[in-house]
A = this chain, B = another copy of it.
Amino acid sequence: MSKIKILVVDDHQLFREGIISLLSKNEDLEIVGECDSVNGFYDLLKETEPHVVLMDISMPEVNGLEIIKEARSKFENTKFIILTMHAEGQYVVKAVKNGAFGYLIKNSDEDELITAIKQVSAGKKYFNSEISQLMIGNMALDEESHKKLSDREMEVLDLVSQGRTTKEIADQLFVSARTVETHRVNMMKKLNVQNTAELIKKAAHLGLI
């Protein structure tokens, strides 16, 4: 059996180098590339055709979960494993929905990482019981929980979170204050909160701002 080709995507160089150093010791694995963000990622994918991509979630400008959603349909022979410090159910749920084959916390050990890589490259999914539980805990909430905010709403949300008043935001966006109010009210409905304070808190916790 030929080596499993791996591509590492993480914005922290030391983490990349560490992982590469770790995995290089294993004869069944081969690191074919690394990448610190979405820049050059698709070229690398096309060029190296890895079996497995280890992908961080939070990177500057981009979200690893979104990249997977985008990439997996175009590269059907490549499997994606999320490798992140975020142990939050919502991320696991989204990873599964977006087609990730595995989800590992950076607080895992070498053996588990290698096990995950081998299983995933063989076409099996790898979500250990801790991760599965996180996901289950969030599936119920997922139904009632927040719908997506529109682009315009995100724009307003961002300005609100910067402490701008409705009128300031209205002037900046060239709309009436009433429209800004409506956006804020609609966001509160979507996120199922009572007022702006709670809206900001929830948005912050969801990583929206």
Contact with B along A177-196 (1 / 0, CB 8 A): 00000000000000001111
Q: How far is the CA of A110 from the CA of B109 in the complex (A)?
A: 21
- A149 shortest CB reach to chain B, Å: 15
With a cutoff of 8 Å between Cβ atoms, the chain B residues found around residue A19 in the complex are 14, 18
Contact with B along A60-87 (1 / 0, CB 8 A): 0000000000000000000000010100
Q: How far is the CA of A160 from the CA of B83 in the complex (A)?
A: 34
With a cutoff of 8 Å between Cβ atoms, the chain B residues found around residue A110 in the complex are 14, 17
Q: How far is the CA of A197 from the CA of B156 in the complex (A)?
A: 12
Contact of A109 among B17, B193, B204 (CB under 8 A): B17
One of A88-96, A122-130, A136-144, A161-169 at the interface: A161-169
With a cutoff of 8 Å between Cβ atoms, the chain B residues found around residue A15 in the complex are 15, 18, 106
Contact with B along A8-20 (1 / 0, CB 8 A): 0001111101110
Task: Please tell me if A97 contacts chain B, counting CB pairs below 8 Å.
Answer: no
With a cutoff of 8 Å between Cβ atoms, the chain B residues found around residue A201 in the complex are 161-163, 200, 204, 209
- A111 shortest CB reach to chain B, Å: 10
Task: Please tell me if A100 contacts chain B, counting CB pairs below 8 Å.
Answer: no
Residues of A within 8 A of B (CB): 11-15, 17-19, 21-22, 25, 36, 83, 85, 104-110, 113, 160-163, 165, 193-198, 200-201, 204-205, 209
Closest 10 CB pairs of A and B: A18-B18, A163-B198, A204-B204, A163-B194, A12-B106, A21-B21, A200-B200, A161-B201, A12-B107, A21-B22
Known pairs A21-B21, A163-B198, A200-B200 / 17 extra A-B pairs, C-beta < 8 Å: A11-B107, A12-B106, A13-B108, A13-B109, A14-B18, A14-B113, A17-B18, A17-B22, A18-B21, A161-B197, A161-B201, A162-B198, A163-B194, A163-B195, A163-B201, A165-B195, A200-B204
A to B CB contacts below 8 Å, 13 in the list: A11-B107, A12-B105, A12-B106, A13-B109, A14-B19, A14-B104, A15-B15, A15-B18, A17-B109, A18-B21, A36-B107, A200-B200, A201-B204
